[in-house]
Every structure is written in structure tokens, then in C-alpha cells.
Structure 1
Amino acid sequence: MTGRLRDLRNLGPTSENWLNKVEIFSKEDLEDVGALEAYKKIKFAGYKPSKNLYYALVGAIHDKDWRDVSHLVNQQEVESL
């Protein structure tokens, strides 16, 4: 699948911009990097994402609403963000 990241579920223009700044340009890139690493890259780049972005990234990968992905994430990883 090609196209804009903002067209994925849960992602908008700001998320897409941040992901592009850390060299993530497609859903395939996001899947390859993974939600946790993508979140860390965004944070390391100097942006101030909320933990909700992590859930949004997981949801974008799995095509699920960000509020419905808690069972897909490791809570210890979330607490370390």
C-alpha cells in the first residue's frame, strides 16, 4: 500500500509530518520499524508526542481505533515512554 500516512487510521497531518521527519514515509516503513521504535524516533527528534501517539501508531499498523489497542501493547513498554 502506498499513499499518505495521514490516510491510515488514527494518523493526521501532524503525525505524518513527524513520521516523515524520522524517515518513515509509508505503512510498510511503519510496520518495518514498529510502533514503539517509531515513537522513540519521534521523541528523540525533539518532538513532544503524548503516549496516545504510541497507541495511534499501533492502531495504524493494525487498522484499529487507538482506544481499542491496549491488548496489543506491552504495558511495561508504555510505562517507559
Structure 2
Amino acid sequence: DGFEVCRRLREWSQIPIIMLTARDNVEDKVKCLNAGADDYITKPFGINELIARVRAVLRRTEEAGTIPTQPSFTTAAT
């Protein structure tokens, strides 16, 4: 599941993680954020919101100096 993917990625990488899911209960949000997700977006969402959140995460990552040299994307079905 997405939580497990997030947890495992955090074991070896600081790549930005934005959880995009249909699960909107507080417990799932807290669980994923505590596992290392940088942001959590629930469906439905507007494309402008998604773009703004991606930019914000990239901006924070850039400021921290932790942008990966080879961007990659991992998806997990919810």
C-alpha cells in the first residue's frame, strides 16, 4: 500500500513524497505524514491545487538542498 511504499522510501531516500489518495480520514493522513510523506492530497482535487503543492514541496526541498539528482516517480494504488 501507499503507506508502506512511503515508509520504505524513507529508509534510504529523502526524495519528496506527496500522497495522492481517496482516503480522507484524519488517521490515514497522520499515519502517512508520520511515515515521512511531505504532503497529503485527497481526491477530488483541483489541478491548480496539485501544481501549487508540488511547487511548494520542490521549493522546500530545494531550500534544504535535498533535491535528488535523478528525479523518479513511484505510484501506489490506494
Q: TM-score, normalised by structure 2?
A: 0.31
Higher relative contact order (CA 8 A, sep 6+): 2
